[in-house]
Structure 1
Amino acid sequence: MSASTGRLAGKVAIVTGGAMGQGAGISRAYVAEGAKVVIADVAKDEGQALADELGESAHFAHHDVGDEAAWTSLVADTNERFGLVGVLANNAGILRFGTVADMPASEYELLFRVNQLGPFLGMKAVVANMKELGGGAIINASSTEGLGGMSNLTAYCGTKFAVRGMTKGASHELGRFNIRVNSVHPGMIDTPMTRVHGGDVAMEYGASKVPLRRVGHPEDVAPLYVFLGSDEASYINGAEIAIDGGVTATHGFGG
């Protein structure tokens, strides 16, 4: 696929959490489809290595999604380097387990800062760009835990339900400017974020609960981000799209 004929040809994108796992898959797919991509992440070594791999169409930026000033600088630097931002993949996220009784407030606050405040600040930072462009696409990473609850993930669920709600509100507010805002709800995806909580055992257990009988991979998720960022999705706004192998197609007695 050449940069001039790809589905994202001519578009400038920011991918948060873009250095590893799902974000790296999105970054690779965006470049392959013709976009110029800023890989925004706190993981410096991994992010720079990925940017080097992807070549002149990618740039790594060390970025804290919970810092509003950092967002201002990131968007300004992207504008100068590649042009106005037309696609924002708010992918950065962290996972923490803990019961309601035992989770420290500091852990909840960290989840809020990365998973919920980060996407809000990202949306806020790109609105002016996208208005100037005459439109744009924002894809917010929620989760299947933004569609239903799960034990020991109450705090995480709270942030992911919030992303789903913010997406709905923003889609109404920004739609008049041709800025589309949608949320993506992955199930169990094999990434460093999920593997740290149990490794192969967790992956095997997760697969046993999925109707397709396998966990997902970043390559399963990235095409959805490409579609939502492209003009092919020009009439999709305010949607919540599960990409979970069928997990949310049933209830607690399924699986």
Structure 2
Amino acid sequence: MRRYVIRLQAANMRCEVRINDIPVALVAPGESAGPIDVPVNEFVIPGSNVMAVTANANPLPSRVREPWAGPAESGVQAGAPARLTARLFAEEGHKPVGWFTPVDIAWAGPAAPNPVTQEKAFNVGDSSHAWGWTRAAVLNPATAAADAHPILVHLHRLLQAGDIGGLATVLQAKLQEVTADAYDIAAGPMANALRQQLQACMQSPEWTLLPVDRPQVDLRLVAGRRLVECLRPNGTPALTYVSQDEEEFSLPVMLGVLDGRWAVLR
């Protein structure tokens, strides 16, 4: 099975990587001491694609490419050298695919509250699957967050109610695409593992589901305005459990309108 992978390494900064305007990696200060490999098959489409990397990213996800005021983030030495490298490559059986030319983006400069975004196009002729998100409706930027929020609240209520069956129905299309369709991996084992972890969080008094009231979430348009990514202001997924030991378990979701209905598409 062919895999498209981004190898990312960053120092003294927050950075974000997107494929076709969909965030695939967000590295906070101090998180990337060594290279991080991120498979991205489910974001690559046939024909022309774009990889974008934002260095010195704004800490607020919905303003990731905007300058900001205030003190440096924890873990960042303001004014000190910062750097990142990102390489997109293709592999089969952990061996490079000869016909695909790797895509490289690198940046170096001072850590500062001034994001810098670089983009590079690449072409894929044989990515076979027609992802649901590519057929989603283009959303109105003025109303998308408000329109998507009730759907996020519905997912939150399913978690609160312990409705594993209802949640599985909502997530079925996403799980199918990010397992069997993208990587030729059976969806069942991932679905079962997710079910077990969610049941453990739901049934244990040690875990608390964080609220998703509007001031506590940051909903941003991505994928060319086809998806709404549901995050918290610190960049973690909106649907997050926190344990008494401050461990976290999250359910990342991106919402879109497909065939006239809101759905979890990533």
Which TM-score band (shorter chain)? under 0.3
TM-score, L = length of structure 1: 0.28
- Which of the two has greater strand per residue? 2
The structure number with the bigger radius of gyration is 2
Q: TM-score, normalised by structure 2?
A: 0.27
